[in-house]
Amino acid sequence: MTYEKKQFLFGNLALDPNRQRRVSYYGRVSTEHEAQLEALEKQMQWYEDQTQYHPNWIVVGRYIDEGITGTLAKKRPAFMRMIEDARQGKFDLIVTREVCRFARNTVDTLVLTRELKTYGVEVYFVSDNIWTMDGDGELRLTIMATLAQEESRKISERVRAGQSVSRANGVLYGNGNIIGYDRVNGTYVINPEQAKTIRTVFEMYAQGHGEKAICNALTVRGDKDGQGNVKWSCVKISRILRNATYKGYIGYNKSRTTDFLEKKRVKNLDEDTIVLVKGDFEPIVSEELWDLCKEIRHTRIRQYKLPDGETRRCGCKSPRSVWAQKLRCRCGGNFRRFRWRTNQLTGEQVYGYECYYRKRNPNKRYVEAQGVQAEDLCQAKSIPEWKLELMAKLVFSRLWGDQREAVLLAYEMIRKCKDAPLQANREQAGRLASQLEKLENRLRSYATMRADGEIDKEQFMSLREKAEQERQAILSEQQRIQAAGTQNDDTGPSLEQIRKAMERVVDISGPRIAEELIAEFVETITPVQDYRYRWKLCFEKLRRGFHSDLVHIDSKPILCFTIDFATAKQFRENCGMDSRFRKGQWNDLTVEVYI
């Protein structure tokens, strides 16, 4: 049947208000709370009462959506099923109580009622007394639908305002099912056994272990997760490391709703926009340890863009070499360390650095030989490590002065080195205490088995003797660690240790510059040409050490020099490197230093 014929027939039928109608009811409540469901029951009873007032109505269907918002039609299964049944001609009238029950979206209301009209289906909004096939039906419906949508917007604003107040008051959301804590009287109380696991996760991560290594360690130890199972995964470890609750803060805005109409919930991937409020509960780890783990996590995550512009994140390994961290190719790529060759005289491994982008792509000569354009291919030459050390030696020799800050930095490094054995001893002491506890449990189990007659006296004595030997070994190791800790606590770093550290870190008279100085004061190193390098230094840390005649504006280099063959040969001899170094193999290096 054509649309024009439908309109003709329906127009004639509309002249008879008492004609027989096949009717379907539609009801909806936005939540599944008991009060709302009770209201829905009364709503459906109200529909039944309407049937009594219209004897020409024949009820053929009832469609009910429970606990679903009305702002988006496609999210309501009963509603969409009703539209499909209307398309198949199962009824010709939909009765709903008011416009806001039908939809809280103006566009959905108008589009769907127009679509239903093409199927010959009219919608009757009882409370608003709107018949969609009346002459002014659509006009009145537009006004009421706009008011319903506006009410939904106001509800959204009131909810957001309430959330702001609850955040300011430090209200805990959710059911509190978080490993390491128990929810008691509206706050978190530390679960001692689970808290030990949480501390282990953060301490191992801060020591450089990856999430997979932590999973394996927790599984071997038999530590249980929040459900009481020894079942760990990298996802669980990642959630623990990102959860600021463990440092005593409540995290809000971890997810957000796109808008009040679509109500699509998306995770907030930007940690900087998460709102942290100090909680009234005891933290499991210190803020310093948590922040350190956060910094490590960020170094292991890299963002990249897809061709369609979408941003994705992926894990990456932290560069083990300080030079790999500082080198940036002129094409924008990073450098990777590789084994250049092996010194045949000394057996020493010689390393170099190459652009990762060039390594992954074909050679320019090969591409040109195939007749393909190759302008975007990187042609940066590989750099031997000793050349970087040579440039660093000359840069710091010409710029470095008497820097108290550097001395204090070196002393802090020594303190960390001194604390490292203490930290290792504390971790070992924790492992020994856990082993001792398990051993004592085992001894009690042997006694129970002997009392129950599961093992005879000889077996019991043999097992107990073996366990006792292990116990004595653990106790001896605990005494050794305790004695070592006491000795380290009573004595600080000696003057000899400080002197050696100053020579290694601050004194630049040696053949090589300490990596600590490179990591602290060098920002990037870029080979702008094959034999021309640009060094960018951290200005805030070095400006007080510059000579006055070297300070220029930021757009110009503060230092520029050339490294010839004689300088390079002298450096290699000072470092005890292979003497087989010929002038024909050398190209002078140009170094520009910027701030």
380-398 pLDDT, tens digit each: 888 999 999 999 988 888 8
CB distance 399 to 542 below 8 Å? yes
Task: Give how far Cα 116 sits from Cα of 62, 121, 133, 455, 568, Å.
Answer: 17, 5, 10, 81, 85
pLDDT confidence of 10, banded at 50, 70, 90? very low
> Quick check: pTM over 0.75?
no
Give me the pLDDT at residue 338, please: 87
Task: Give how far Cα 284 sits from Cα of 16, 194, 208, 244, 552, Å.
Answer: 76, 10, 20, 10, 50
Greatest mean pLDDT among 83-87, 151-155, 403-407, 496-500 lies in 83-87
Query: How far apart, in whole angstroms, are the C-alpha atoms of residue 512 and residue 323?
Result: 13
Pick the more confident residue, 25 or 308. 25
Domain positions in the chain: 3-161, 181-314, 326-400+508-595, 404-501
Give me the pLDDT at residue 590, please: 93
Give the number of other Cβ atoms within 10 Å of residue 111's Cβ. 13
Query: How far apart, in whole angstroms, are the C-alpha atoms of residue 559 and residue 594?
Result: 7
CB distance 575 to 511 below 8 Å? yes
Taking the alpha carbons of 90, 92, 97, 99 in that order, is the dihedral positive or negative?
positive
Token code pair at residue 471: 């116990």
Query: How far apart, in whole angstroms, are the C-alpha atoms of residue 462 and residue 4?
Result: 99
Give me the pLDDT at residue 550, please: 44
pLDDT confidence of 34, banded at 50, 70, 90? very low
Superfamily of domain 181-314: Putative Large Serine Recombinase; Chain B, Domain 2 (3.90.1750.20)
Give me the pLDDT at residue 492, please: 47
Give me the pLDDT at residue 6, please: 43
183-241 pLDDT, tens digit each: 887 788 888 889 899 999 999 888 878 888 899 889 888 888 888 888 888 888 988 99
3 state DSSP class of 580: coil
Q: What is the 3-class SS of 137-198, one letter each residue?
A: HHHHHHHHHHHHHHHHHHHHHHHHHHHHHHHHCCCCCCCCCCCCEEEECCEEEECHHHHHHH
* Beta pairing class for 311-315 and 187-190: unpaired
What's the rounded mean pLDDT across residues 445-462? 79
CB distance 40 to 29 below 8 Å? yes
231-284 pLDDT, tens digit each: 888 888 988 998 888 888 887 766 666 655 555 655 655 666 677 778 888 899
- CA of residue 537 relative to chain centroid, distance: 30
Query: How far apart, in whole angstroms, are the C-alpha atoms of residue 310 and residue 304?
Result: 8
With a pLDDT cut of 70, the percent of the chain lying above it is 68
Query: How far apart, in whole angstroms, are the C-alpha atoms of residue 566 and residue 588?
Result: 10
Superfamily of domain 3-161: Resolvase, N-terminal catalytic domain (3.40.50.1390)
Alpha helices in 270-370 (DSSP H): 287-299, 322-326, 356-360, 364-369
